């Protein structure tokens, strides 16, 4: 069965849900949060004797820590609570949690204690959650760095301290959790940029709050349930014309491989026919490994196509510019990748033409390409990947995938998705070309841009994950190897969809 695509909320959304769900909630949300985190913690210490270290901060995240510490105390487990702030300044719920902890006989220490001889069973970071407002420094930076080095399971409460909830940026320094228990719903920062390196395994504890019932989410994690309705079995009475003509335009001198990789991916994900239009006059006229592909001169692609990708190995020559300009005016689903994006960034007239298109446009920038398109630097894009992807989609009236750790898929209407499949072995040449081919294949088969982009992006990462499980990667995974795994997984999804009656 396909898992539901969980909602994701930035801080403002979580605060809004909290404000609606909180009044009169019994038990209080903090009691529920501390208890839920304690339940996750119990699973981590099943076979680990010894004391638990809980580091509590000055806000409600610290309050969650004291609720958890009280539960462990009451269960007879040794807990050391480190707290170095002024309890008189706690917000109301945290003050209650602190008082209850003290009333249960709990004590605090004001500096991080040395580890016991046999180590901590577990260390818990309840320093800062969604209320982090500035970089960690001084004592808290030292605590976080020192806790991150403890060779035990390390559980972060709600957010790893130091991680910006909305962007996944590290503010100063950041706790390196092996596990994170997050409350109510996922947050963008857990899933993109530096989030996955610091959050570890994520457990979402909803605290009996129906988040989507209170606030319609704009963001969701990518899961096949989002496009399961598109995973239709093929009709027996069909032919290659039923599955579209896909084309890849690129392959300038020295870069033919990029276009061929994209074309192969388009073929193996089910396009009826695949053409590759190559700019290099000396390019081969047949792909001997895949003679099914129809290789043409770049100017000789057929008039009738179902979907066209421009960019893999395109280069930035005048002829590349001319071909791109002509492609943008064609009334078909269009994917713009790599140098097509760089040419677009440098030419406002091309941008206006993209904006005026009525057929779907898909953009596949990595952060530097996105920066060129937005007229800013790469760091600005990475500082707020979500905003950058949404700005591109809004400005160019296109669907966008901003690649990188936790790829962001943004729609022109303001909805967005974060993909959590894939691994750093995918940081290798040709991976983007394969993604472009996968998207183009689905567009050629009549998928809408949103579903094609979500499915291809997720599939791309899932294929890499599957190969890594089989020892093919993460290190050394090559883009060409991904294509067969993507085909196999996609067929598995089709079978699953048919079994579930989509």
Ligand X SMILES: NC(=O)C1=CN([C@@H]2O[C@H](COP(=O)(O)OP(=O)(O)OC[C@H]3O[C@@H](n4cnc5c(N)ncnc54)[C@H](OP(=O)(O)O)[C@@H]3O)[C@@H](O)[C@H]2O)[C@@H](O)CC1
Residue set of the binding site for K(+):
61, 125, 161
Q: In whole angstroms, how close is the CB of 148 to K ion at the nearest point?
A: 12
3-state secondary structure of 146: helix
3-state secondary structure of 27: coil
Choosing among K ion, ligand X, none, which partner's interface includes residue 161 (Cβ < 5 to 8 Å by kind)? Answer: K ion
Taking the C-alpha atoms of residue 79 and residue 71, their distance in angstroms, rounded to an integer, is 10
3-state secondary structure of 56: strand
Residue with Cβ nearer ligand X (155 or 483):
155
The interface region with K ion, picked from 119-127, 164-172, 440-448, 472-480 by CB under 5 A, is 119-127
Instruction: Retrieve residue 467's tokens.
Output: 């190969």
Given a contact cutoff of 8 angstroms between Cβ atoms, the answer to whether 205 and 43 are in contact is no
Choosing among ligand X, K ion, none, which partner's interface includes residue 18 (Cβ < 5 to 8 Å by kind)? Answer: ligand X
Q: In whole angstroms, how close is the CB of 141 to ligand X at the nearest point?
A: 9
288-327 residues near K ion, rule: CB under 5 A: none
H-helix or E-strand spanning residue 40: helix 29-44
Q: For residue 2, give the DSSP letter.
A: P
Q: Which residues are annotated as a binding site for AMP?
A: 403-407, 432
Cβ-based neighbours of 455, under 8 Å, separated by 6 or more: 224, 227, 230, 442, 447
Taking the C-alpha atoms of residue 175 and residue 197, their distance in angstroms, rounded to an integer, is 10
Residue with Cβ nearer ligand X (58 or 365):
58
Q: Which residues are annotated as a binding site?
A: 60-64, 125, 129-135, 140, 158, 161, 258, 313, 366, 403-407, 432-433
| Phi, psi of 482, rounded to the nearest 5 degrees | -70, -25
Residue with Cβ nearer ligand X (125 or 339):
125
Taking the C-alpha atoms of residue 309 and residue 195, their distance in angstroms, rounded to an integer, is 31
Choosing among K ion, ligand X, none, which partner's interface includes residue 268 (Cβ < 5 to 8 Å by kind)? Answer: none
Residue with Cβ nearer ligand X (90 or 417):
90
Residue with Cβ nearer K ion (55 or 388):
55
Q: In whole angstroms, how close is the CB of 4 to ligand X at the nearest point?
A: 21
Exposure string over 141-178, b if 16+ CB within 10 A, otherwise e: bebbbebbebebbbbbbbbbbbbbbbbbbbbbbbbbbe
Residue with Cβ nearer ligand X (186 or 402):
186
Choosing among K ion, ligand X, none, which partner's interface includes residue 29 (Cβ < 5 to 8 Å by kind)? Answer: ligand X
Choosing among ligand X, K ion, none, which partner's interface includes residue 480 (Cβ < 5 to 8 Å by kind)? Answer: none
Exposure string over 87-120, b if 16+ CB within 10 A, otherwise e: beebeebbbbbbebbeeeebebeeebeebeeeeb
Largest pairwise CA distance in the chain = 81
Q: In whole angstroms, how close is the CB of 6 to ligand X at the nearest point?
A: 16
Q: In whole angstroms, how close is the CB of 138 to ligand X at the nearest point?
A: 8
Which residue in the set 31, 64, 93, 125 belongs to the binding site for K ion (CB under 5 A)? 125
Q: In whole angstroms, how close is the CB of 222 to ligand X at the nearest point?
A: 24
3-state secondary structure of 424: helix
Residue numbers of the site for ligand X (CB under 6 A)?
14, 18, 29-30, 33, 57-64, 91, 128-136, 140, 157-158, 183-184
Rule CB under 5 A: say whether 157 interacts with K ion: yes
Residue with Cβ nearer K ion (189 or 432):
189
Q: In whole angstroms, how close is the CB of 17 to ligand X at the nearest point?
A: 7
Choosing among ligand X, K ion, none, which partner's interface includes residue 465 (Cβ < 5 to 8 Å by kind)? Answer: none
Q: For residue 224, give the DSSP letter.
A: G
Choosing among ligand X, K ion, none, which partner's interface includes residue 57 (Cβ < 5 to 8 Å by kind)? Answer: ligand X
Taking the C-alpha atoms of residue 317 and residue 279, their distance in angstroms, rounded to an integer, is 10
Which residue in the set 6, 60, 161, 457 belongs to the binding site for K ion (CB under 5 A)? 161
Given a contact cutoff of 8 angstroms between Cβ atoms, the answer to whether 170 and 197 are in contact is no
Taking the C-alpha atoms of residue 436 and residue 84, their distance in angstroms, rounded to an integer, is 52
Taking the C-alpha atoms of residue 262 and residue 271, their distance in angstroms, rounded to an integer, is 12
Q: Show the binding pattern over residues 69-108: x = contacts K ion (CB under 5 A), - = does not.
A: ----------------------------------------
Residue with Cβ nearer ligand X (85 or 448):
85
Residue with Cβ nearer ligand X (70 or 273):
70
Give the CA count within 13 Å in the CB-facing half-sphere of 65: 30
Q: Cβ–Cβ contacts within 10 Å for residue 441, how many?
A: 33
Q: In whole angstroms, how close is the CB of 112 to K ion at the nearest point?
A: 15
Choosing among K ion, ligand X, none, which partner's interface includes residue 166 (Cβ < 5 to 8 Å by kind)? Answer: none
Q: Which residues are annotated as a binding site for (6S)-NADPHX?
A: 60-64, 129-135, 140, 158, 258, 313, 366, 433
Q: Could you tell me which of 7, 493, 450 has the C-alpha nearest to residue 210?
A: 7
| Phi, psi of 235, rounded to the nearest 5 degrees | -70, 140
Q: In whole angstroms, how close is the CB of 65 to ligand X at the nearest point?
A: 8
Residue with Cβ nearer ligand X (135 or 253):
135
Given a contact cutoff of 8 angstroms between Cβ atoms, the answer to whether 340 and 321 are in contact is no
Rule CB under 5 A: say whether 122 interacts with K ion: no
Binding site for K ion (CB under 5 A): 125, 156-157, 161
């Amino acid at each position: 069965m396909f898992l539901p695509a969980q909602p994701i909320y930035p801080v403002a959304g979580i605060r809004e849900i909290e404000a609606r769900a909180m009044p009169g909630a019994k038990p209080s949300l903090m009691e529920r949060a501390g208890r839920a985190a304690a339940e996750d913690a119990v699973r981590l210490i099943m076979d680990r004797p010894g004391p638990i270290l809980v580091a509590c901060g000055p806000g409600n995240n610290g309050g969650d820590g004291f609720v958890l510490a009280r539960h462990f105390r009451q269960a007879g487990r040794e807990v050391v609570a480190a707290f170095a702030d002024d309890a008189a300044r706690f917000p109301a719920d945290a003050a209650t949690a602190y008082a209850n902890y003290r009333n249960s006989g709990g004590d605090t220490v004001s500096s991080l204690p040395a580890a016991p001889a046999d180590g901590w069973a577990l260390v818990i970071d309840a320093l800062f959650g969604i209320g982090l407002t500035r970089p960690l420094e001084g004592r808290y930076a030292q605590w976080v760095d020192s806790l991150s080095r403890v060779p035990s399971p390390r559980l972060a409460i709600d957010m790893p301290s130091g991680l910006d909830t909305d962007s996944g940026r590290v503010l100063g320094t950041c706790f390196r959790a092996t596990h994170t228990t997050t409350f109510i719903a996922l947050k963008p920062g857990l899933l993109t940029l530096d989030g996955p390196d610091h959050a570890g395994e994520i457990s979402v504890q909803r605290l009996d709050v129906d988040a989507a019932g209170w606030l319609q989410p704009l963001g969701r994690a990518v899961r096949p349930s989002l496009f399961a309705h598109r995973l239709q079995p093929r009709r027996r009475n069909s032919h290659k014309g039923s599955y579209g003509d896909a084309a890849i335009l690129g392959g300038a001198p020295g870069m033919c491989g990029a276009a061929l990789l994209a074309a192969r991916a388009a073929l193996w994900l089910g396009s009826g026919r695949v053409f590759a239009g190559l700019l290099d006059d000396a390019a081969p006229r047949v792909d001997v490994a895949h003679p099914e592909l129809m290789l043409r001169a770049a100017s000789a692609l057929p008039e009738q196509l179902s979907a066209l990708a421009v960019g893999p190995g395109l280069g930035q020559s005048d002829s590349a510019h001319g071909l791109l300009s002509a492609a943008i005016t064609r009334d078909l689903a269009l994917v713009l990748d790599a140098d097509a994006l760089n040419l677009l960034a440098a030419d406002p007239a091309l941008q206006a033409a993209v904006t005026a298109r009525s057929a779907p446009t898909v953009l596949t920038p990595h952060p530097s390409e996105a920066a060129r398109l937005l007229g800013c630097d790469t760091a600005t894009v990475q500082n707020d990947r979500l905003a950058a992807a949404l700005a591109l989609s809004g400005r160019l009236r296109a669907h966008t995938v901003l690649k990188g750790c936790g790829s962001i898929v943004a729609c022109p209407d303001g909805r967005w998705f974060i993909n959590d499949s894939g691994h750093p072995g995918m940081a290798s040449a040709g991976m983007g070309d394969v993604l472009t081919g996968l998207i183009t294949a689905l567009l050629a088969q009549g998928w809408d841009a949103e579903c094609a982009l979500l499915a291809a992006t997720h599939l791309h990462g899932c294929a890499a994950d599957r190969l890594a499980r089989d020892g093919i990667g993460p290190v050394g995974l090559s883009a060409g190897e991904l294509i067969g795994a993507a085909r196999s997984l996609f067929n598995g999804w089709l079978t699953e969809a048919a079994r579930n009656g989509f």
